[in-house]
Amino acid sequence: METMEMPTEIASTIIESENGFLVCDDKSGSAEEVLQIDSVLQCQCFIAQVSSGDCEHVRAVLDYLSATPASADYPVMSQAEADSYLSRIAELDNTVVANEDSAEQQIDRIRLWLEMESVKLDKQRAYYLFALESWMHQQDLSTKTLVNGILKVRAQQPEITIKDEDAVLKDDRFVRIVPEKRAIDKAALRKYVVSTGEEIEGTEVILRRPKFTYKLSQASS
């Protein structure tokens, strides 16, 4: 396989997480994820898929790792970098909203088309069904096998709707006693486990890491 010529190295910012790295192009603002699986770096960009060599994103991560001292902690960023990251999150959130709005518009158009087509086809189908049902009654048939399928006419049980439950319950013939059901009191269980730290038999307690949240200012939205 012929090796493709690699593009010029990009000026990039590397953001590290537990699963891998995000390589951000400082000029275009685009970003590509590089996963780290069993110490192997994997990128899903086009160059990585068609080339036998490392793509620019993997090389950027390798340069980052070689220049970053091994440490259990992630590199400490400045306040300006933190604010820049928050601004980028605002851009990503806005893009997500724009994509969702665009998708909803397309979905609405598709649904309208589908509804109109379905109504038209259902009307045609109803004519055929009416004709076939009438023919079965005319022939006094309950079942008829044809080349393209089987026609059946079956008597149905009446549909019963309860309009006044209290009135029906006055007649013991139509009353049954439903025993009380034992159910887990999840609130009491949580309170006990949190206060004592004990893992009760039949349960599994999974400690969760602190949840990270963000709130954007109106100027960033």
CB atoms within 10 A of CB 82: 10
56 and 105 part of one domain: no
123 and 88 part of one domain: yes
Q: Would residue 26 count as lying in a domain?
A: yes
Report helix, strand or coil for 143.
strand
CA dihedral 102, 105, 106, 107 (to 10 degrees): 120
| Beta strands per DSSP E along the chain | 12-16, 20-25, 31-37, 40-43, 143-146, 149-152
* Domain termination residue (choose one: 98, 125, 152): 152
- Which residue ranges in the chain fall short of pLDDT 70? 1-11, 69-75, 158, 178, 181-182, 209-216, 219-221
DSSP string, 50-81: H-SS--HHHHHHHHHHHHS---SSPPPPPHHH
* Domain termination residue (choose one: 55, 73, 91): 73
pLDDT of residue 74: 61
Euclidean distance between CA atoms 221 and 218, whole angstroms: 5
pLDDT of residue 71: 59
pLDDT of residue 6: 43
Residue 123: domain span: 82-152
* 129-182 confidence digits (pLDDT tens): 999 999 998 998 889 999 889 999 988 776 777 788 787 877 777 777 767 766
91 and 122 part of one domain: yes
66 and 91 part of one domain: no
* Domain termination residue (choose one: 30, 52, 73): 73
Q: Would residue 7 count as lying in a domain?
A: no
Q: Would residue 157 count as lying in a domain?
A: no
Nearest to 54 by CA among 65, 26, 19: 65
Q: Tell me the Ramachandran region of residue 106: left when phi exceeds 0, alpha when psi lies from -120 to 50, beta otherwise.
A: alpha
pLDDT of residue 181: 65
Whether the predicted model's global pTM rises above the 0.85 cut: no
Tally of domains within the chain: 2
CA dihedral 80, 81, 86, 87 (to 10 degrees): 70
pLDDT of residue 64: 87
pLDDT of residue 150: 92
